[in-house]
Amino acid sequence: MGRRPPEPRNASNPHRSPVLLTLKEYGWSIGPGAPLAVIAGINVLEDLDLALTIGSALKESCAALGLPYMFKASFDKANRSSIKSYRGPGLDQGLEQLAAVKEKLGVPVCTDIHEPDQAARVAEIADLIQIPAFLCRQTDLVRAVAEAAEAKDKLIQVKKAQFLAPWDCKNIVSKIGEVTKTERVILCERGASFGYNNLVVDMLGIGEMKKLGTPVTIDATHAVQLPGADPRTAGASTGGRREGVAVIARSAVAAGADGVFLEFHTDPDKALCDGPSCLAIETAKPLLTTLKQLHEITAAAS
């Protein structure tokens, strides 16, 4: 007797159409029928002047292209390679800077958290609360973010862990759905790790994640990281392949990504965190122009 063919890997997943998510106050949207959504800024807050410079340039570029823009920056990077690496200004000062960016530029903001007790305070300021990839299975953190988003009517972005298959994100979406509506959730692809200081992005995974009923973004910046492989510090920090950011972003948008997650700097080589993976701010508008065109072609063909 022949062997029974294996079940498809995603056979247990519900197949739902992605929903349109909006922040009406800012005219920001992501999902079916919306323009390419842009979540972009700097990796970690260094000072308010830099945040405003980057945010202003990106807002201007997105406005010229008709793309919805959201500023992104972290107040703390808790998963650095070395205990000596720069982590950011911390929760109090970081939220003050994010609030200032939000007020001065009139744009929504996104930041990530690492501890459950940060969720309620972050939800006071952030419009999109991000769960880092390595922490996406931490039940207490996921629940705290879902509760805070429910209380303040905010959105949630979950980065797919480097060790998860795309279809296994169903458990994260389901977990959030036990606390608040899943129509708050954006899933983010950022590559899979097989060790050996590299990440690989499966573009077919974007479609698999969209089957869970959520919009999907591509974190093209962190997808080109080379963990523990920065020659400047003999492996004590993360390296990167800056030239690959545009390649990953273009490929993901062509594969159906609803939005892009990108990081910029006025002087990438001097960035205090993940400099080898971020782009010079002057490259933003040309890249976004191409990504907008790809998104429109892909949407028309689907």
The pLDDT tens digits of the residues spanning 177-205 come to 999 999 999 999 999 988 777 889 999 99
pLDDT attached to residue 233: 46
Long-range contacts of residues 202-206, Cβ cutoff 8 Å, at least 24 apart: 202/166, 203/251, 203/252, 203/254, 203/255, 204/166, 204/255, 205/160, 205/165, 205/166, 206/166, 206/252, 206/255, 206/256, 206/257
pTM to 2 decimal places: 0.90
Q: Is 154 a catalytic residue?
A: no
Task: Provide the pLDDT confidence category of residue 210 given band limits of 50, 70 and 90.
Answer: very high
Q: Is 72 a catalytic residue?
A: no
Q: Is 198 a catalytic residue?
A: no
- Exactly one of 170, 230, 274, 292 is catalytic; name it: 274
- Exactly one of 43, 102, 219, 230 is catalytic; name it: 43
Q: How far apart are CA 40 and CA 284, in angstroms?
A: 10
pLDDT attached to residue 227: 61
Q: Comparing 8-17, 94-103, 142-151, 201-210, which segment has the lowest mean pLDDT?
A: 8-17
Instruction: Answer with the residue of higher pLDDT: 233 or 70.
Output: 70
% of the chain at pLDDT higher than 90: 77
pLDDT attached to residue 86: 72
* Residue 13 in this model has a pLDDT that exceeds 80: no
Topology (CATH level 3) of domain 26-301: TIM Barrel (3.20.20)
- Exactly one of 59, 77, 102, 211 is catalytic; name it: 77
* Residue 230 in this model has a pLDDT that exceeds 70: no
pLDDT attached to residue 6: 43
Instruction: Answer with the residue of higher pLDDT: 61 or 235.
Output: 61
In 10 A of CB 144, how many CB atoms? 23
Instruction: Answer with the residue of higher pLDDT: 178 or 11.
Output: 178
pLDDT attached to residue 87: 81
* Residue 254 in this model has a pLDDT that exceeds 90: yes
Long-range contacts of residues 140-143, Cβ cutoff 8 Å, at least 24 apart: 140/116, 141/113, 141/114, 141/115, 141/116, 142/172, 142/175, 142/176, 143/116, 143/175, 143/179
* Residue 231 in this model has a pLDDT that exceeds 80: no
Domain residue limits, the chain? 26-301
pLDDT attached to residue 11: 43
Task: Provide the pLDDT confidence category of residue 1 given band limits of 50, 70 and 90.
Answer: very low
Asked if 199 and 159 count as a contact pair (C-beta separation under 8 A), the reply is: no
